[in-house]
Structure 1
Amino acid sequence: MKIILVINPISGDKNKTVFIDFAKGFMDNSKIDFELYKTTGHRDCEKLNQLIVKHTPDKVIIVGGDGTLNLFLKPLVEHKTKVGFIPMGSANGLAAEFNLTKTARILFKKYVQSHETKALDVLSINDEHLFLHLGDIGANANLVANYDKDEERGMFTYAKHFWSEFQNLKSFEIDIKTDRMQYERKGVMLAICNGKKFGTGIPLNTIGKMDDGIFELVVVKAMDFTDLIKATLSKFDEDHKVKNLETFQAKTATIKLKQPQLLQIDGEVVKEFTKLEVKVLDEALSFIKHQT
């Protein structure tokens, strides 16, 4: 067996040295041939693609946040590589989607030993940006961008930018044409969903499934303080529903905006757009099952 282990050393401000030592020792003892790749922020996707072409691994196991996995989707999809994901980032929405509640060591061993996979859909925006979980434009994307610019980290800093964005919410016009219908809406945010929850655990899309061949567009029409409290409660009790949401399902969608809006995907800021072409790539990613 050949494994490529990909580590994002700075994701989530978590020290991964102990885990790396464990993983290397486990593979050495198990007589598994492996390559270790640490991201640098410079041509990482291209470099992983080169490693996959050179070594044709049986599995790629990625350690980092949701954005780390998204970064490598293109070569993983193109080469139909079996992939495992260990959440150690700031945004860990995928951990909730996949029920990745075990420790990093246990997850790693299960991925190495598992012989089963599950095919997951991947979403594409403008034939350029691939992602597995959630993307959005509007209020949350602005919050993420401002948080990224801040030198401070942690919940206090996040709360500061959350409150600032809440106080300055502005609606914008959204024209949506899907393979099913056409809609004109106004909202403070539009989410493009393959999954259900933000990395914070707050549920946004209650009907989403990552293997159903469709995605959801969720328009957040308005938000008041009561909505924020209920959203927070929803993290712990899914009987609480966030108000002022409207959800559309589609296989393809064209989204047009009169004013440029910032796009973020799983905690990674992309750039401003006035038009988004969204489509689902059916069963494009082969995800290793960790529960057998």
Structure 2
Amino acid sequence: MDKRTDPATPPAAEPETPGDPAARQVRRALIIFNRNAGGGRKVARLEETVARLTEAGVEVTIHRTSFAGDAEQTAHAARFLGSGPDVVICAGGDGTINEVVNGLAGGDTPLALLPIGTANVLAAEIGLAIDTDTVVDTIFTGVPTPIYLGMANGRYFTLMTGVGLDAEVVASVDKKLKRKTGKLAYALATLKRWAAYRDHHFRVTVDGVEHRAAGAIVANGHYYGGRFVCAENARITEPGLHVCLFQKPGRWQAIYYMLALFGGFLDRLNTYRVIPGREIHIDDDRDGPVQGDGDIITRLPLTIGIGPETVRILMPRGAS
């Protein structure tokens, strides 16, 4: 870990905060930084944020992740430090946030976002702009709001979990290419999986009722892949999941579903359904990949429900 403090100048007893009556006092901040997020191109935004916090009198500690699960372990450990941070700041994408959330779930330490990932869906979900001014302002004045979590095979997710073409794309993304090109790596992986597509159905059981679908996304929030709406009524601030069923298989049908998602008319297709649910089981003859918050988190068969714990996230003032 790197500490951005001057040993010759101890932190002030009463750190300065922005001149805003809504500002909270933040003495210590832990930044969990995924250096590979956003292709490693956004270190400047991290450094600018650290400088702004330090100028406001905050003692900033940076932990740079070095292995899968590192962010989760670090966030979990921070909850039990005697003089732990007043806020944990996740500098990364939705996959890094997934790890941090799994580490913080059930605790009181608030989570702030420094979005530097490829899609930054959770930032969109809470109405957080990614500019430094807004990020820093939210760290000081954001409203600590409990968010409900989904659980897939015992692991928390914040936004969504899914099976089918989207999970196969995530599983086949070239990680080195992703670090260099970002969304282009996903586009190339999509073409690769689309070319290899074969008609297939999953067995999706929602609260005891079985359905068949070529693909399924279980949504905890309404955005998917950026600011594209997948489940209009899903909200992370409300307990409940929404099962998005892509019912019709086919290579060209998959393209049509993507165009409908990007074009904003997915909910008007008669082969697409969204079903509210609390207990979901997804099964298949294969142990295919399952994506959660943009990373592969487990494999089929899959049991999904509402997690027993919440995480407090700092939401921008005025966000709905």
TM-score (norm 1): 0.86
User: Helix, strand or coil for the counterpart of 2:119?
Assistant: coil
Partner of 2:295: 268
* CA shift digits 1:198-221 (9 cap, x unpaired): 224332222211122100111111
Structure 2 residue identity aligned to 1:246? R
Tell me which of 218, 231, 235 is aligned to 1:209: 235
Alignment of 1:98 with 2:126, yes or no, is: yes
CA–CA distance in 1 between the matches of 2:182 and 2:42? 19
- The residue type paired with residue 279 of structure 1 is G
Counting only pairs closer than 5 Å after superposition, residues 32-43 of structure 1 correspond to structure 2 as: 32-41=58-67, 43=69
Q: Which residue of 1 aligns with 2:188?
A: 160
Alpha-carbon deviations, 1:184-235, whole Å to 9, x = none? 31x2211111012222433222221112210011111125647735744653
Alpha-carbon contact 2:145-2:313 (below 8 Å) kept:
yes
Paired residues in the alignment total: 285
SS in 2 for 1:281: strand
**Residue identity opposite 2:164 in structure 1:** G
Read off the aligned partner of 2:35 and give its amino acid letter.
Answer: P
Of the three residues 165, 170, 173, the one matched with 1:144 is: 170
The range that moved more, 217-226 or 62-71, is 217-226
Would the alpha carbon gap of residues 102 and 218 (structure 1) be closer, same or farther in structure 2, given more than 3 Å must change? same
Q: For the aligned residues, what is the CA RMSD?
A: 2.6
User: In 1, distance between residues paired with 2:281 and 2:252?
Assistant: 31
Name the SS for the 2:127 alignment partner.
coil
1:170 — aligned with what?
Answer: 199
Aligned position for 1:197:
223
Partner of 2:136: 109
Q: How much does 1:89 deviate?
A: 0.8
Larger radius of gyration: 2
Alpha-carbon separation, structure 2, partners of 1:239 and 1:76:
36
Task: Show structure 1 runs of 4+ deviating over 6 A.
Answer: none
For 1:131, the equivalent position in structure 2 comes to 157
Shift of residue 13, structure 1, vs aligned partner: 0.6
Structure 2 partner of 1:188: 214
> In the superposition, relative to structure 1, how do residues 84 and 242 fare at CA in structure 2: closer, same or farther (>3 Å)?
farther
Q: Which residue number in structure 1 is paired with residue 101 of structure 2?
A: 73
How far apart are the structure 1 equivalents of 2:202 and 2:142? 48
Larger relative strand fraction? 1
Letter of the structure 2 residue corresponding to residue 49 of structure 1:
H
Q: What is residue 22 of structure 1 aligned with on the other side? A: 48
Find the aligned partners of 1:234 and 1:173 in 2 and give their Cα distance.
Answer: 21
- 2:311 aligned with 1:253: no
**Aligned residues of 2:106 and 2:311 also touching (Cα < 8 A):** no
- Distance in 2 separating the partners of 1:50 and 1:77: 12
* C-alpha contact 1:120 1:282 (8 A) present in aligned 2: no
The match for 1:84 is 112
- Aligned residue identity for 1:201: R
